[in-house]
Structure 1
Amino acid sequence: MTTKIDSLSQALHLLQVVADNPCTGLSELSRLSGLNKSRAYRMLCTLAEHHFVIQNDDSSYQLGHQLLTLGHIAKSQSNWLNIAESIIEPLVTEFNENLQIRIRENLEIVQVWRRVSSQPLQVRSEAGNRRPLGAGAAGKILLAFASASTQDKFFSNLSAEQTLLLQDKIQQIQHQGFYVSNGDLTEGVCAVAIPLYDAQKQCIACLSLSAPISRMPQERIQLILNRLVAARDTLFIRLGGIPI
């Protein structure tokens, strides 16, 4: 017996489509979601009634304010994230580069916190964006420190050659405890990423800083890495971890 409610699953999928395609009309949302136009319209009306979406004057749709409320509530319930934010904020001022925290959800990673550089040349990053596990610096960190069963599931989707190449990199990340990427995901972008740990020394997230390669000489990368690690160690202790 299945516990899945198909209509709810479809509505949540439609909500994600709206999130990924803001200010989009009914016909296109219907096409992107795979729902027929009539069903998509009824679901959008229901979502709008509960303020999860808003219909604009031009009849396009975007996310509603109820999601902001739920987001704030979810954040307040994520105690470790609130603590991490207070520890990491000074790094935003010090470096004025993009800082992100990402977590793993199954075989994807999702951005749950970010601060954006105020410099004219900056790396674009959408709040709440999702990527495949293993993609970019954060994706490799979260793969490297995932459980063996998660890694097995991930590698089962790759060819033998892809698996061999990525496993070598994953082992290197596990050994050194960080990863520095240069154009892995986006050309011209450098990212420094480290795992964040809970009190049991289990990886709960990835903290990363990204910037144009032109602003990332080796000395600055090392300084950034040192600061990220110091912040991570402070978080570990604040969460109840005992330093070795």
Structure 2
Amino acid sequence: MQNTNKTVVKSMEILRLFIAHDQLTLNEMIELSGMPKTSVHRMASSLADMGLLEKQETGVYRLGLMFLEYGQLVADRLDIRRIARPFMESLRDEVGEAVQLIVREGDEAIYVEKIEGTQPVRLYTAVGRRSPLYAGACARSILSFLPESERLAYIDSIELGKIGIGTITDKEVLRNMLEESNARGYTLSYSELENYTAAIGAPIFNHLGEVAAGISIAGFEAGYQKERLPYLIKQVKKAASDISRELGFSEQIKSQ
């Protein structure tokens, strides 16, 4: 820290004030920072010249539009597979089931990462596989948490085809299931994509509070009986929450 530039550090202290405040006057920045008036005035002017702050006609300062550009760059460059994988491995080690990560592509879900379970028999899902958003807990973990208008529009436009013996083919049943999943924070499926298998999924949210991906565990139905479900659900939701937090999500964003 010996080579730290004091001006840069103080400028960052000024910028950090705007994490908790939408806008500030010069006097408010002086009061909150405890810095001399001349220093704050000089730094605020320089930050405004660089586009990091924006001075309104009323004299108040706000964060500049450049932060939107930087923020979008950070969001675009976040590799969800890289971020999610350690949590997926921990989840697999905890429950012993296969763990899958999906993202949405149009009306489909695409599997972008998978970690095999500890069981000797493997499920046939693989990276690159696609499935409709309505089928299976993993895909429905995205569909269930889209805005309600988007969910309803999807249901109206889609034709529900049978894939496994448990695939939902009734739109009213699907609509009710999506509402229930949204309320409880996870999805559950039995024999929807592959007969005699089960899955539990949960949504992953980004820094904007939007559902960005879904994570699920999957295995044979015998391992997903009623007495074990609460434990499995808790672990899947925890992994989804941990990944969401790494993507910049917080409950405060969701409640806004």
Shorter-chain TM range is 0.5 to 0.7
- After superposition, the Cα gap between the structure-2 partners of 1:213 and 1:153, relative to the gap in structure 1 and judged at 3 Å, is closer
Alpha-carbon shift at residue 77 of structure 1 (Å)? 4.5
Matches within 5 A, 1:22-61: none
Q: How does 1:12-161 map to 2 (within 5 A)?
A: 77-147=77-147, 148-149=149-150, 151-158=152-159
Q: Number of aligned pairs?
A: 168
Give unmatched runs, 5+ long, in structure 1.
1-75
Cα-Cα RMSD:
2.3
Name the SS of the counterpart of 1:218 in structure 2: coil
* Residues 6-27 of structure 1: CA deviation (Å, up to 9, x unaligned): xxxxxxxxxxxxxxxxxxxxxx
Post-superposition Cα deviations, 1:39-87, rounded to whole Å, max 9, x if no partner, equal: xxxxxxxxxxxxxxxxxxxxxxxxxxxxxxxxxxxxx954333222122
Point out 4+ residue stretches in structure 1 off by more than 4 angstroms: none
Unaligned runs of 5+ in 2: 1-75, 161-168
Query: What's the TM-score, normalizing by structure 1?
Result: 0.62
Residue 134 of structure 1, CA deviation: 0.6
Q: Residues 153-232 of structure 1: matches in 2 within 5 Å?
A: 153-158=154-159, 162-232=170-240
**Letter matched to residue 152 of structure 1:** A
| 8 Å Cα contact 2:108/2:132 also seen in 1 | yes
CA distance in 1, matches of 2:177, 2:151: 17
Distance in 1, matches of 2:225 and 2:172, equals: 30
Deviates more, 1:204-213 or 1:222-231: 222-231
Percent of pairs with identical residues: 21
Instruction: From the CA coordinates, give the structure whose radius of gyration is larger.
Output: 2
CA distance in 1 between counterparts of 2:143 and 2:241 reads 20
Answer yes or no: is the 8 Å Cα contact 2:100–2:138 preserved in 1. Answer: no
CA distance, structure 2, for counterparts of residue 219 and residue 184 of structure 1: 21
Distance (Å, rounded) in 2 between the aligned partners of 1:132 and 1:229? 22
* Structure 1: distance between partners of 2:120 and 2:85: 24
CA contact (8 A) 1:141 1:194 kept: yes
TM-score, length-normalised on structure 2?
0.59
Q: 1:30 — aligned with what?
A: none
Alpha carbons of structure 1 residues 218 and 82: separation in structure 2 relative to 1, 3 Å: same
